Amino acid sequence: MSRITINSPKHCAEKQALRIERNYKKLFFPFSAIFTTLILLILLIYLILLPSKPQFSLTQVDIYQLNLSGPKLNSSIQLTLLSKNPNKKVGIYYDEFQVYATYKGQQITGYTSMPPFYQSNEESNLLTASLVGNGVPVAPSIGYEVGRDQSSGRLVLNLKVNGKLRWKVGTWVSGHYRFNVNCVSFMAFGSSMTSSPISSNQVAHCSTTI
């Protein structure tokens, strides 16, 4: 006599769920291993290359105008920046590069945008920018600060850069990283600017954050 076994629908569902779970595990472990390997490989490449921040220095600053008209300031400044990529195997794409000036913590010029450019490994570039501020609203204390600096014979100006860059290693290019540059220029400041501009050609190293 033959034996007939009848499984309940619940029992069949449990068997099917068990098969699905086993198949899922078979697929999960290989994909997990590949993903982990890729992450470790990217981390290893990053640790080996470890891109260094670009280096900037201020080589020339000329202030042609710095005049107060009531609560507003008019300014005209020209500067030259030396930009250097210190990396031996990493290039840098500068996709956004905006320069402006601040005085006593207040922005006194508009943003001047530089054209995007690529900087190869260990390459240096001279960048010149003209900054203009027409009728920029400033705090009432700025007039006092300008007068005090004229009396002391020294003016401290901050030249700043905001932008976005990408790293290039071989054919691989990273996503965007924001960077900020701050340069401090100490300049001799006389009682008048009518005869010649206030100038400084002393090299000032800048701080860079990414």
In sequence order, what E strands does 28-71 have? 55-69
| pLDDT at residue number 24 | 56
Question: Which residues face 77 on adjacent strands?
Answer: 63, 131
Between the CA of residue 189 and those of 32, 66, 135, 147, 205, what are the distances in Å? 65, 11, 22, 10, 21
Q: In the chain, where are the structural domains located?
A: 8-50, 55-209
Cα separation, 204 vs 189, whole angstroms: 17
- Each residue's pLDDT tens digit, 124-177: 999 999 999 999 998 888 888 888 988 888 999 999 999 999 999 888 888 899
| pLDDT at residue number 13 | 52
Cα separation, 18 vs 133, whole angstroms: 73
| pLDDT at residue number 6 | 46
| pLDDT at residue number 101 | 97
In the predicted model, what is the mean pLDDT of the chain? 84
pLDDT band at 2 (very low <50, low <70, confident <90, very high): very low
In the chain, the amino acid numbered 210 is: I
- Residue 5 pLDDT > 50: no
More confident residue, 202 or 40: 202
Q: Does domain 55-209 have CATH number 2.60.40?
A: yes
| pLDDT at residue number 29 | 66
Cα separation, 108 vs 113, whole angstroms: 16
- Each residue's pLDDT tens digit, 90-110: 999 999 999 999 999 999 999
- Each residue's pLDDT tens digit, 21-48: 565 556 556 667 777 777 777 666 665 5
Between the CA of residue 19 and those of 8, 11, 13, 23, 186, what are the distances in Å? 17, 13, 10, 6, 75
| pLDDT at residue number 27 | 58
- Residue 75 pLDDT > 90: yes
| pLDDT at residue number 18 | 54
